[in-house]
Structure 1
Amino acid sequence: MALPRVGILADDRLQQHLLKSALVHFGFDVVINTDPLRFSELDAASDLDAWVVDVREDADEESLDWLDDLLDGEIPVLLGIEKAPQKQCPTFPKWEKRLYSKLRELLRVTPVVAADASALASLQDRGGPEIPLPSVFAGHDFRSQPATQVWVLGASLGGPEAVKKFLDALPGGLPVGFIYAQHIDPRFEQTLCNTIGRHSAYEAKNFAENDVLRCGEILVAPVTNEFGFGDDGRLKQKNRPWPGPYGPSIDQVILNVAEHFGGCAGYILFSGMGNDGAEAIVTLADQDIQVWAQSPETCANASMPESAIETNRINYTGDPCQLALQLVNCVKHSWIEKHEPISDQN
């Protein structure tokens, strides 16, 4: 499907740049990006799906004739955009999401930001060797134990392939549980669950009220409604849709997991379109909390990891197999620190 074609008219060069950057991140084809005073010179406007207009300077009535022409045309026009914050500002991801949500309301066609059945059908079987289980876990069986260390795996377009490579590379027997938040059509939620755990040492499962996430399990986050955790760690339905334009909201999954697990959680953002996850990770004030991203050059779509990297909150980047190896080493060192302290030699 062709990308929706958008034209930007903005009288501020920085705003032009930030608008284009955000729209490209969300999968729009920005074919015009110029000052509104040049509107009369444009001849390719008939092919557009929408105009995005931002005028900051005071203008007299005569100089706004171009806007009257624009509004009288057949192409939808998005007006009233708030000024973009700097890219490094913590509120920039929220601004991007609001822009995307407004365009979604305006257009009948928006970019595909979620995986679908074809993405799941194309997933390959295990392609590489499994990482050996560290010897410190030999003789332990964590499978029936509630997970006290949890990793959130966030992904969108291109995510299923990357996450499956990551999971297939992990050895069984690690004392961790996973929550997989994947933007996907709700019709394929069960298919995702059936597919992502195939050939993995970890068992994928769907959300069930009052269930407990155990070591060795992958909870596939529900697409439609938000969930959280009770004081006893059991899964609780919040009986409301996920906030924002996506389901599930990776940002909200991160916030809910951080609220319950605190420093015992980690986060990995994989391939995807958009910026979901970037807003939440900047709220993780404890720099010891690990937040990783798939390296952009290995992504089917790099927008989501790039947005996360731009927040300067990412501790590590790598391809799916490198991320798996990093996780094994991280879990091993965490276990050694807690269960095998170095004795005082003095």
Structure 2
Amino acid sequence: MPRSLRLGVIVDSEAKLALIKTVAVQVGQKIECSVLVSANSGGVSPSELAQLETIQELDAWLVALNYADAQAAKTEQVLLSPSLASDIPVIVCDSSELSYGPVQQCQWLKRLKLRLQRVQGDVNLLSRRAASSVWLLAASTGGPSAVCEFLQALPSELDVAFVYLQHINQGYSSALISMLSKAGHYRPRLAHQGGVLEAGTVTLVDPAYRIEVQNNGTLVCFDDPWKGPYQPSIDQLAANVARTHSFRGGMIVFTGMGEDGVASSRLVAQQKGLVWVQKPETCVVDSMPQAVLQTGCAQFSGSPIELAQALSKHLHHLQEQQLNESSATY
């Protein structure tokens, strides 16, 4: 699980700082230092800037100022300081709407919470690289055995990250992680705030909380549960990944009961992502793959081993294309 981020805050009121501290605690982050910039101070003084530059090991800066006030522009010297902004993320929040009323304040705090959740991934990306391709592995009844068989048949060098959505009851994720750890080369991990979808990994989605995949290949975890009858929801996450990664990946629907994944398979295909299914005769329960096949969106059907072989061939072909395109530019 991720450690708490150490944040530096540049803010123009004590009341605003108190609100930010409350939100930071909610997302498990820590305000390590803060600088109060008053409207009449003319921005951050040279001595304050020098003091800030001595602070070590911060993970990110949060600048929350009222940009309707012309004095706020004078704090640009902080953002432009290489020692503050070059190596860590800087979140800039225009907080002018806080003065408009309680509704606007709630909206601002909601957006601030989401930005602080997302910055965990930005920090992690400084030391890790997201995979070029993301594939969803969707399953229900009989899924663990089929997915493990699929993973065991894959070579280790593929530049792909898997996100595994398995319909299971809460409390069984650790047992499934243990099972996945014995299945081939792909390192299992539980989805967590700011997690990076790295090559060679399988990220298991816990049914207890909803997640989203960001464009940069990181995860945001939310407190609210998955909507609808399925936990985790294949349709919800597949629709999310179709928007963020489109042709850079796809979805494989394995054995399972029900129709979760049917609606999103159309969207994945529309976004030029690939939709594959486990061959129905190899399934414990074939309801899910059969339902996807009936949409006409599935481009390939095979046993878990055949799916692994096809994916390996597909990704190697993409890698060769990228190498050829890179060579052509020189």
Q: Given the alignment, which residue of 150, 153, 158 partners 1:169? A: 153
Superposition deviation, residue 199 in structure 1? 3.6
Judging changes above 3 Å, is the alpha-carbon distance between structure 1 residues 291 and 208 closer, same or farther for their aligned structure 2 residues?
same
- The amino acid across from 1:246 in the alignment is Y
Query: Equivalent residue of 1:267, what SS?
Result: strand
Separation of aligned partners in 1, 2:178 and 2:289: 26
2:269 and 2:279 map into 1 onto residues whose CA distance is 23
Q: Which of 118, 134, 146 is matched with 1:150 structurally?
A: 134
1:205 is paired with a residue of what secondary structure?
strand
The within-5 A match list for 1:33-112 is none
Partner of 1:242: 226
Contact 1:144 1:215 in 2 (8 A): no
Paired position in structure 2 for 1:312: 296
- Among 309, 321, 328, the alignment partner of 2:312 is 328
After TM superposition, the structure 1 = structure 2 runs for residues 197-346 of structure 1, keeping only pairs within 5 Å, are: 197-230=181-214, 232-286=216-270, 288-341=272-325
- 1:150/1:178 contact within 8 Å kept: yes
Q: How far is the alpha carbon of 1:144 from its aligned partner?
A: 5.3
TM-score (norm: length of structure 1): 0.56
> Sequence identity, in percent?
35
Q: How far 1:195 sits from its partner (Å)?
A: 0.7
Taking a change above 3 Å as real, the CA distance of residues 207 and 343 of structure 1, as seen in their structure-2 partners, is closer
Question: Deviations for 1:156-212, whole angstroms, at most 9, x for unmatched residues?
Answer: 001111100000000101100000000011111111111123141000000111121
Alignment TM-score, normalising by the size of structure 2:
0.58
**Bigger proportion of residues as helix:** 2
Report the 3-state secondary structure (helix = DSSP H, G, I; strand = E; otherwise coil) of the residue aligned with 1:184: coil
CA drift at 1:343: 7.8
Could you tell me whether the CA contact under 8 Å between 1:164 and 1:197 is conserved in 2? no
CA distance 1:286–1:189, shift in 2 (3 Å): same
Q: Give 3-state SS (helix, strand or coil) of 2:273's partner.
A: coil
Shift of 1:293: 0.2
- SS of 1:151's partner is strand
Partner of 1:34: none
Deviation string for 1:195-231 (max 9, x for gaps)? 1231410000001111211000000012121101345
**Structure 1: gaps spanning 5 or more residues:** 1-142
Distance of aligned partners of 1:342 and 1:213 in 2 relative to their CA distance in 1, 3 Å threshold? closer
Higher relative contact order (CA 8 A, sep 6+): 1
Which consecutive unaligned segments of at least 5 residues does structure 2 have? 1-126
Hey, what's the Cα distance between the residues in 1 that align with 2:316 and 2:259?
31
Q: CA RMSD in A?
A: 1.9
The answer (yes or no) to whether the contact 2:166–2:232 under 8 Å persists in 1 is: yes
2:156 aligned partner, one-letter code: G
Give deviations 1:257-314, integer Å, cap 9, x for gaps: 1122121121100000001100111123537421000000000000010011011000
Task: Report the secondary structure of 1:284's partner residue.
Answer: helix
Give the distance between the partners of 1:215 and 1:195, measured in 2 at CA.
20
Per-residue deviation, 1:338: 1.4
Is contact 1:266–1:289 with CA below 8 Å preserved after alignment? yes
Mapped contact 1:148–1:261 kept (Cα < 8 A): no
Shift of 1:317: 0.1
| CA distance in structure 2 between the partners assigned to 1:297 and 1:207 by the alignment | 31
Q: How many residues in Structure 1 have an aligned counterpart in Structure 2?
A: 202
